[in-house]
Amino acid sequence: MGDKITPIKRFDEMDYYEILNVEKTASQEEIESAYLAGIATYHPDSLASYSLISEVERRLIIKKIEEAFQILGNSEKRRMYDLEINNTVKFYPKAYFRKSTKKLEIEDGEVKKNIWQKLKSLFSRKRKMDVQKKPAESYSINTGVPNLLRGEYLKKVREIRGLRLDDVASEIKMNISQLKALEEEDYESLPKGINISSLIKTYAHYLGFIHQDKQSIESKKDPLH
């Protein structure tokens, strides 16, 4: 114990909980607000970070925060991640193999189930199928856009940044009514044939919380891709 040294971690060595600055036991609500606060902290307009860290670092940390929220913001993914960072899948060999008393048999039943679930969760292919079966949980039905980009988040981020709808609209050349529809997830009212997910992405990109997508949007313009 004496010679064990905890090095100071750079932010790219921190786990997702440290990145969002929440306890390992944090509720989904706490994680969500930590995520929003994190984005606000490292956003290009934030007063809190520009003087200490570089533009590049800020972009990297925002990316990390996004990543952290993608995982911790989803209870299933979070459970997997917890298993991964604890790096110990606990089996209960003692109870599992002894069947001498009634009491233990009852326990056996539960333990078996636990192990089965844990094993199941270790196979990612199965997990993907599970996710697809329950689209409502991680994807909004109409658009196939990750939960992260749902209207309420867009709205929250915009409000935290103190932006008004009409300002945003003129900046990214959209109608106010369209933006409102996105925030309220009222996709029916949008013109037919319009690409909803690209609208959302443009908006989210403007708010500063997706980066990888700029490239993918641009690459779609190229017919060869």
Partner 1 sequence: MILKENKTIWAVGGGKGGTGKSFISSSLAIQLASQNNDVLTIDADLGGPNLHTFLGIKEAKSDLGDFVTNKVTKLAETAIPTSFANLKLIKGSENVLFMANLNHYKKLRLIRQIKTLEEKRVIIDIGTGSSYNSLDFFLLSNPGILVITPEPTSIENTYYFLKSCIVRILNLYMDYYKIENMTRKIIKEIENDSKSIYSFFNTIISYNKSLAQLLYRALKNFKSCLVMNKVRSEKDLLLGYSITDVARKFLAVELSFVGSIPYDERVHRSLNKFVPFTLEYPDSQVTQSIKLISEKLVEYGG
Compare residues 1 and 136 and give the one whose CB is closer to partner 1: 1
Cα distance between residue 33 and residue 146, in whole Å? 18
Which residue type is seen at 34? A
Among candidates 196, 162, 166, 170, which has minimal Cα distance to 181?
196
Compare residues 156 and 201 and give the one whose CB is closer to partner 1: 156
Containing H/E element for 170? helix 165-172
Q: How far is the CB of 47 from partner 1 (least distance, A)?
A: 5
Number of neighbouring beta carbons within 10 Å of residue 82: 14
Instruction: List interacting residues with partner 1 (CB under 8 A).
Output: 3, 5-8, 10-11, 14, 21, 37-38, 40-41, 46-53, 57, 61, 160, 162
Which string of b and e fits 44-79 if b means at least 16 CB within 10 Å? eeeeebeeeeeeeebebbbebbbebbbbbbbeeebe
Compare residues 47 and 129 and give the one whose CB is closer to partner 1: 47
Say how far residue 218 (Cα) sits from the centre of its chain: 23
Compare residues 7 and 93 and give the one whose CB is closer to partner 1: 7
Q: How far is the CB of 1 from partner 1 (least distance, A)?
A: 11
Among candidates 151, 147, 148, which has minimal Cα distance to 65?
148
Q: How far is the CB of 3 from partner 1 (least distance, A)?
A: 6
φ/ψ region of 144 (left if φ > 0, alpha if ψ in -120 to 50, else beta) reads left
Q: How far is the CB of 186 from partner 1 (least distance, A)?
A: 27
Compare residues 50 and 92 and give the one whose CB is closer to partner 1: 50
Contact 203, 172 (CB under 8 A): yes
Q: How far is the CB of 78 from partner 1 (least distance, A)?
A: 21
Compare residues 3 and 188 and give the one whose CB is closer to partner 1: 3
Q: How far is the CB of 154 from partner 1 (least distance, A)?
A: 18
